[in-house]
């Protein structure tokens, strides 16, 4: 069993080496593909240096910034592993996450997706979003990271949506993708140990998620500014359309 790890990178020269090092420590990883998404900082040079130091590391350069969904799609298209996993360039894998996942695939040949517990860390605030916070599991299940998936099934889905609506600050392509995964590929195996660390910072998707939500009873609710309601509606429509497209692709395979 071989795993290809895809790392989309846009202006993360300072953290890319940490991410790649954590990927290379994982069991079963035969290639790490860095997709430089039109970075304007030294990311491309760092990626080339990492590729020169380990033959498992390869690089893909996108001339124009296209967003994480497109970068991941381009990366998967050039991988050769039977399994794929996504790692953001400013995050890191922990322990032997892929080794734990591969054991589950060996035990159940019908399994399509395995996902691990995640931890969230801010270099200023320290550990954030503890496991007893109702937003913790929501953050995990709306992220395509911390997951090992059969490559052939990703290709059947058609990959991530590359709709321009997701290029805004709210993102959304991860949410659309994970909703489709959970709709079509149950049961998803869960790894209870934390195998992925999200490094949050001011302005990150996680930071905005926490700023735009508040606890309410046993759950949480969103606090949506009035001027973003139209964009929220557009994102919801695109996500719904993506679900329909994936259902047709998966159902026809």
User: Are 47 and 39 contacting, i.e. CB atoms less than 8 angstroms apart?
Assistant: no
Distance CA 179, CA 84 (A): 18
Amino acid 190: pLDDT: 96
Q: How many residues does the chain have?
A: 253
Pick the CATH number of 3-251 from 3.60.90.10, 3.40.47.10, 3.40.50.170, 3.90.550.10: 3.90.550.10
pLDDT value of residue 153: 97
What's the pLDDT score for residue 226?
47
Element of type H or E holding 93: strand 92-93
Q: What is the pLDDT along the chain (253 residues), one digit of tens a residue?
A: 899 999 999 999 999 999 999 999 999 999 999 999 999 999 999 999 999 999 999 999 999 999 999 999 999 999 999 999 999 999 999 999 999 999 999 999 999 999 999 999 999 999 999 999 999 999 999 999 999 999 999 999 999 999 999 988 778 899 999 999 999 999 999 999 999 999 998 878 888 888 888 898 889 988 865 445 656 788 889 999 999 999 999 986 6
The separation between CA 251 and the C-alpha centre of its own chain, rounded to angstroms, equals 24
Residue 66 near residue 36 (C-beta atoms within 8 A) = no
């Amino acid at each position: 069993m071989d795993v290809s790890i895809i790392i989309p990178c846009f202006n993360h020269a300072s953290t890319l080496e940490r991410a790649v090092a954590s990927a290379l420590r994982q069991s079963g990883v035969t290639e790490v593909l860095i997709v430089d998404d039109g970075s304007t900082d030294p990311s491309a040079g760092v990626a080339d240096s990492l590729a020169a130091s380990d033959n498992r590391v390869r690089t893909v350069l996108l001339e124009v910034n296209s967003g994480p969904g497109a970068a991941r799609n381009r990366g998967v298209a050039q991988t050769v592993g039977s399994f794929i996993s996504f790692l953001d360039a400013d995050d890191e894998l922990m322990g032997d996450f892929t080794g734990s996942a591969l054991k589950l695939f060996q035990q159940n040949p019908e399994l399509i997706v395995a996902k691990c517990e995640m931890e969230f860390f801010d270099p200023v605030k320290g550990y954030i979003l503890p496991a007893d916070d109702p937003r913790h599991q929501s953050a995990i299940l709306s992220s395509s990271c911390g997951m090992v998936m059969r490559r052939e099934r990703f290709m059947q889905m058609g990959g991530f949506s590359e709709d321009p609506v997701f290029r805004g600050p709210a993102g959304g392509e991860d949410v659309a993708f994970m909703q489709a995964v959970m709709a079509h590929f149950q049961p998803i195996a869960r790894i209870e140990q934390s195998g992925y660390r999200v490094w949050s910072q001011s302005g990150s998707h996680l930071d905005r998620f926490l700023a735009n939500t508040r606890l309410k009873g046993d759950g949480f609710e969103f606090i949506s500014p009035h001027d973003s309601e139209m964009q929220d509606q557009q994102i919801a429509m695109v996500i719904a359309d993506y679900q329909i497209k994936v259902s047709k692709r998966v159902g026809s395979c």
